[in-house]
Amino acid sequence: MNRLTLAAALLVSCTLPSRAVEIIAHRGFSAVAPENTLAAFRMAWEKGADACENDIYLTADQQIVVLHDKDTKRTAGVSMDVAKSSSADLLKMDVGAWKGKKWAGELLPTLQQSLDTMPRGKQRFFIEIKCGPEIVP
């Protein structure tokens, strides 16, 4: 960053209200905990995040689960297409072990479970719908 850009950024930041900048935890505190898990969301809140972003898909039995990809291969090691799978099968999946032994046993959460981690106050979630409009109702 050159000096002029840095000076402009500092000038703008000095003129903004103190809460103009917020910390948004992408998929929870995914730098440390496995993404889109209850552990990642809880850690983000504990570390003072203003909001968490999560990703959602609709299952074959019309339940909403929190997962970035359309299948479970990357985070669970077993490929199951979320739209073609039941929530009962998906919610048993370990989506933490890939991040390390410490996280083994972290299960794929529902949207409601992730929302339930949010402290009362001004924190919030940014929910990214990864499937189509069928999830909206």
Are the CB atoms for 34 and 95 separated by under 8 Å? yes
The answer to whether residues 98 and 75 touch, using CB atoms and an 8 Å cutoff, is: yes
pLDDT tens digits along 88-97: 999 999 999 9
Cβ contact 134:83 at 8 Å: no
Of 32, 53, 63, 68, which is the active-site residue? 68
Residue 19 has what pLDDT? 63
Q: Which of 26, 27, 42, 99 is catalytic?
A: 26
Phi, psi at 76, each rounded to 5°: -110, -15
Catalytic (active site) residue 26: yes
Q: Out of 14-18, 68-72, 85-89, which region has the weakest mean confidence (pLDDT)?
A: 14-18
18 a catalytic residue: no
Whether the pLDDT of residue 66 is over 60: the answer is: yes
d(CA 67, CA 27): 9
- Residue 45 pLDDT > 70: yes
Tell me the C-alpha distance between 87 and 107, whole Å.
Answer: 12
Q: What is the pLDDT of residues 3-22, one digit of tens each?
A: 655 445 545 555 556 667 89
Does the pLDDT of residue 40 top 50, yes or no?
A: yes
